[in-house]
Amino acid sequence: MKKMKKIPVFKSEDAERDFWATHDITDYFQIAEQQKGVFLNLKPSTETISIRLPKYLLAQIKELANAQDVPYQSFMKMLLAESIKKRFI
């Protein structure tokens, strides 16, 4: 069995990212021993923004969100994510 190297302590996420970009993960982990991770209640980071919309557009968004029984801000996030996925992915 191959001896695994010790993972260094990183000063920042950038330092860790740079390290893994230039090192082989198989030198540090036994791939055969991997397990599927479970992350309960994990929520993505969010940032508050301000956006100006015409009143009629916001009213339409709220109406469509209400028809789907979804909060309008969540509905707007869904629309943005779908649009980005269609255009860029």
User: pLDDT, tens digit, for every residue of 48-76?
Assistant: 999 999 999 999 999 999 999 999 999 99
Please choose, from the candidates 61, 41, 43, 42, the residue with its C-alpha nearest in 3D space to the C-alpha of residue 51.
Answer: 61
The number of beta carbons lying within 10 Å of the beta carbon of residue 1 is: 5
The phi and psi torsions of 62 (rounded to 5 degrees) equal -65, -40
For the stretch 7-46, pLDDT in tens is 999 999 999 999 999 999 888 887 777 778 888 888 878 8
**pTM, two decimal places:** 0.51
Q: How far apart are the first and last CA of the chain?
A: 41
Tokens found for residue 34: 């991997």
